[in-house]
Amino acid sequence: MRTIYLVPALIAAMALSCAASLAQTVKVGVINTYSGPFAAVGEQLERGITLYMKLHGKELPPGVTIELIRRDDTGPNPEVAKRLAQELITRDKVQLLTGVVWTPNALAIAPLVTEAKVPFIIMNAGTAMITTKSPYIARVSFTLWQSSYPMGTWAAKNGIKSAYILVSDYGPGIDGEAAFTKAFTEGGGTIAGDVRMPVTTPDFVPYLQRAKDAKPDAVFVFVPAGKQATGFIKAFGDLGMGSAGIKLIGTGDVTTDEELQNMGDPAIGTMTMHHYSAAGDRPANKAFVAAYKAEFGPNEEPGFEVPDAYDGMAAIFHVISAQKGNIDPDKTMELLKGWKYDSARGPIMIDPETRDIVQNEYLRRVDKVNGRLQNTELETIPMVKDPWKELNKTK
């Protein structure tokens, strides 16, 4: 009699253990800035991750789940980022790493992912050479050369004869300065002055005063997005630079969409080159912004880090799904090379040769529309590869 009951119980037990052995949880380490003076930038990135998980979190193959393990680097702190990456790799045994707002942090992590063979999908850090530091790095965000180089070309062609350069004194600022200078001077422009400012400076007035005294046609700027950008625009307004006839041009970091309403009218007229504007009227962006507002509030606009992180999650889901949760580092990198996605920013691709992002750059102007500031897209430069890598190819 007993065996009759035993058989189904045995089958059930076997089925359970079978399902357990098929179930896969992929651990993904997220290093981001969740606290400190730069937390506003980290919050944008986090919102991109959250939004993707909310809309697509259940789209993994049956039995495959993802576990995000979040860690706070507290800002541009390479020592902290390195320790966190080390712990995530050795103790938490993450199979993928992502996040990372700051260039110095990404550079500190690069040797660790090479040694441990952990694919590292960068969602922000934008200094061009970062991707050359490890074959296990792919970037879904941007490079400063991608925006600053076409900005220099545009400025030279559009009546700006002299420009004064103000950049944050670290990787992305130095890239922005080099890229803008090259394109602008090759187009016939003159550099009226060139000053690097501390990354964390709370006061931009002394730098802008010197720029004003030099009487250039324009100031070209790179500062990190977030509260630094708002501080810069406010100082530009306070010093009456606009009424003195000096144009403000730069990368889109300085007119980051989520801060525009805090910047106020001094931002109006600023011309920037960037890969994303919340005001972009592509259908994919309209849907993206609607989903963002539904989640975070009707008066919130996504900054560029939001689609960048969201697309980073799409890339992560792609590699997890394609391998049914069994992550092989080399196979993962092959899957990332040439990956294409219809992003809110337009079509994007990971360059198979460089593992860096290829995307549209948009020339934008800050306008006030129905009482709200926006980055109006005026021109599109399609599918820009990182110019720094393109220019250094033949050398």
- Choice between 267 and 335, CB closer to ligand PHB: 267
Site for ligand PHB in 204-223 (CB under 6 A): none
Q: How far is the CB of 386 from ligand PHB (least distance, A)?
A: 13
- Choice between 32 and 181, CB closer to ligand PHB: 32
Eight-state DSSP code of residue 222: E
Q: How far is the CB of 65 from ligand PHB (least distance, A)?
A: 31
Site for ligand PHB in 276-315 (CB under 6 A): none
- Choice between 102 and 317, CB closer to ligand PHB: 102
**Residues in a beta bridge with 27:** 67
Count the site residues for ligand PHB by CB under 6 A: 13
Among 44, 103, 153, 285, binds ligand PHB (CB under 6 A): 103
Q: How far is the CB of 58 from ligand PHB (least distance, A)?
A: 32
Decide if residue 147 touches ligand PHB (CB under 6 A): no
Among 33, 50, 127, 146, binds ligand PHB (CB under 6 A): 127
Nearest to 292 by CA among 274, 318, 310: 310
DSSP 134-148: -TTEEESS--HHHHH
Nearest to 302 by CA among 284, 283, 278: 278
How many other CB atoms are found less than 10 A from the CB of residue 352?
12
Decide if residue 225 touches ligand PHB (CB under 6 A): yes
Eight-state DSSP code of residue 379: E
Residue type, 363: L
- Choice between 30 and 101, CB closer to ligand PHB: 101
**Residue 246 to residue 217: CA distance in whole angstroms:** 5
| 32-61 footprint of ligand PHB as x/- string (CB under 6 A) | ---------x--------------------
Eight-state DSSP code of residue 194: E
- Choice between 256 and 332, CB closer to ligand PHB: 256
What is the three-class DSSP state of 38? coil
Q: How far is the CB of 26 from ligand PHB (least distance, A)?
A: 26
Nearest to 153 by CA among 270, 249, 241, 246: 249
**Residue 102 to residue 42: CA distance in whole angstroms:** 10
- C-beta of residue 377 within 8 angstroms of C-beta of residue 280: yes
User: What values do phi and psi take at 374, rounded to 5?
Assistant: -150, 160
Would you call 282 exposed, middle or buried from its count of C-beta atoms within 10 A (0-12, 13-18, 19+)? middle
Q: How far is the CB of 66 from ligand PHB (least distance, A)?
A: 26
- Choice between 104 and 189, CB closer to ligand PHB: 104
Among 48, 216, 224, 302, binds ligand PHB (CB under 6 A): 224
| 240-279 footprint of ligand PHB as x/- string (CB under 6 A) | -------------x--------------------------
Residue type, 118: V
**Residue 262 to residue 255: CA distance in whole angstroms:** 10
- Part in contact with ligand PHB (CB under 6 A); list of ranges 61-69, 100-108, 287-295, 381-389: 100-108
Give the interface with ligand PHB as residue ranges (CB under 6 A).
41, 101-103, 124-127, 171-172, 224-225, 253
